[in-house]
Amino acid sequence: MPDESKIERDRIEKRRFRIKDIDQLKLVDDVFNEYTLKALYEIMNRRIVLEVYGPIAQGKEAKVIWGKDYDGKDLALKVYYTLANRFVNRNPYIIGDRRFSGKPSNPFKLASMWCRKEFRNMKRAYEAGVLVPRPIAFYSNILVMEFIGEEGVPAPLLKDVPPDDVQAAYIDVILNVEKAFIIGKLIHADLSEYNILNWNNKLYIIDWGSAVDSSHPNFMDLLYRDVRNINRFFSKLGASVVDEGKITEALIKRSKGSYIVSDGRVIVDGKDLLGYLSIN
Ligand SMILES: Nc1ncnc2c1ncn2[C@@H]1O[C@H](COP(=O)(O)OP(=O)(O)O)[C@@H](O)[C@H]1O
Ligand SMILES: [Mg+2]
């Protein structure tokens, strides 16, 4: 019988990079170019991060690395690629968002801009009470956030591990979309089962880089598309879903009134979204 805890320890040890080895990061992983290493040094000097381990996931715009803070808490470091070509098709999202009117001139600046944009969006979502990993800090092209998972093993994506109670999870995601929109004035704009982590049936919405302010000229289409993606996924799992047009319309109408938050729910004219839609 192999000693499983030893295997686990070895596995973690292999992925661990001690601070003195930081320069070797660029040899083991191409995401660590000089620019990124400088950012990592800065983040470590500020004592936001104590140790960095290996990459845990690779997305279309970033690599996500596991780290630990000075209290031994796990962190996720999202390192944005600094290659110009990776960002070309993302430009349309930024056009029309009044917060990002300047044109970035080089790939490093562009990566940093995405990083800053995602951090700000996450902060807004987090403060609105949306279930997202807690954003902690950012510097250049590195975003530091709460790690969702355990000992360097990230929580699975919703697409791979469906929740136990699909109906409750569906409602939960829709109510989070409402909080982001009405309280945070934010539309995720890339919402799907690929950007939701299922951690013991708690659904964390991640990847806020493309999110737009509700003043965006296309906000209605983007909101509709997010809801449609969620509807498509959950109806496949057998949940009974409310028509995406109806939900989008309800959200827009409700966003025009004034709201209070009670028990974590957005209340407009005495009703939460479920009451408004006559569900339950
Ligand atoms: N806070 C986090 N905790 C654990 N894993 C994470 C976290 N954030 C991202 N990940 C992992 O990294 C992957 C890529 O992150 P994401 O933000 O979706 O980047 P991309 O824009 O490249 O798709 C995710 O699918 C997930 O597996
Ligand atoms: Mg993603």
For residue 90, give the ligand nearest its CA: 1
Concatenated DSSP letters for 217-269?
TTHHHHHHHHHHHHHHHHHHTT-----HHHHHHHHHHHHHS-EEEETTEEEET
For residue 145, give the ligand nearest its CA: 1
Task: Establish whether domains 4-153 and 166-276 are of one fold.
Answer: no
pLDDT at 53: 86
Instruction: For residue 223, list its beta bridge partners.
Output: none
pLDDT at 21: 67
Whether the CB of 149 sits within 6 Å of ligand 1: yes
Residues 79 and 144: their CA atoms lie apart, in Å, by 9
* Highest averaged pLDDT of the listed ranges 10-14, 103-107, 115-119: 115-119
Give residue 231 CA to ligand 2 midpoint distance, Å. Answer: 18
Whether the CB of 87 sits within 6 Å of ligand 1: no
Residue bearing the CA closest to ligand 1, atom 11: 57
pLDDT per position as a tens digit, 28-82:
677 788 889 899 999 999 999 999 988 899 888 899 999 999 999 999 999 999 8
Whether the CB of 206 sits within 6 Å of ligand 1: yes
pLDDT at 2: 56
Give residue 5 CA to ligand 2 midpoint distance, Å. Answer: 31
Q: Which two tokens stand for residue 163?
A: 């929740």
pLDDT (average), residues 103-130:
91
pLDDT band at residue 89, thresholds of 50, 70 and 90?
Answer: very low
pLDDT at 214: 97
Whether the CB of 154 sits within 6 Å of ligand 1: yes
Instruction: Give the SS3 label for residue 68.
Output: strand
pLDDT (average), residues 116-141:
98
Side chain identity at residue 141, one-letter code: N
Residue located via tokens 């009470």: 129
- Quick check: 19 pLDDT over 70? no
Residues 188 and 58: their CA atoms lie apart, in Å, by 20
CATH class, 166-276 region: mainly alpha
Segments making up each domain of the chain, as ranges: 4-153, 166-276
pLDDT at 20: 57
- Quick check: 264 pLDDT over 70? yes
pLDDT at 88: 43
87 CB-near residues (< 8 Å, 6+ apart): 61, 81, 107, 110, 111, 114
83 CB-near residues (< 8 Å, 6+ apart): 107
Residue of higher predicted confidence among 89 and 33: 33
Give residue 51 CA to ligand 2 midpoint distance, Å. Answer: 24
- From 64, 185, 49, 181, select the one nearest 133 (Cα to Cα): 64
- Quick check: 27 pLDDT over 70? no
Whether the CB of 268 sits within 6 Å of ligand 1: no
- Quick check: 109 pLDDT over 80? yes
Give residue 207 CA to ligand 2 midpoint distance, Å. Answer: 5
- What percentage of the chain exceeds 90 in pLDDT? 70
Residue bearing the CA closest to ligand 1, atom 13: 57
CA-based R_g, the chain, Å: 20
- Quick check: 98 pLDDT over 70? no
**Quick check: is 165 catalytic?**
no
Concatenated DSSP letters for 6-63?
HHHHHHHHHHEE-GGGGGGHHHH-TT--HHHHHHHHHHHHTTS-SEEEEEEEE-SSEE
pLDDT per position as a tens digit, 177-220:
999 999 999 999 999 999 999 999 999 999 999 999 999 999 99
pLDDT per position as a tens digit, 210-263:
999 999 999 999 999 999 999 999 999 999 999 999 999 999 999 998 999 999
Phi/psi of residue 170, nearest 5 degrees? -60, -50
Count Cβ neighbours within 10 Å for each residue of 223-244 and write b for 16 or more, e otherwise.
bbbbbbbbbebbeeeebebbeb
Helices (H), 52-106: 91-94
Whether the CB of 60 sits within 6 Å of ligand 1: yes
CATH architecture observed for domain 4-153: 2-Layer Sandwich (3.30)
**Quick check: is 207 catalytic?**
yes
- Quick check: 150 pLDDT over 60? yes
Residue located via tokens 């964390």: 204
Q: Which two tokens stand for residue 29?
A: 């992983």
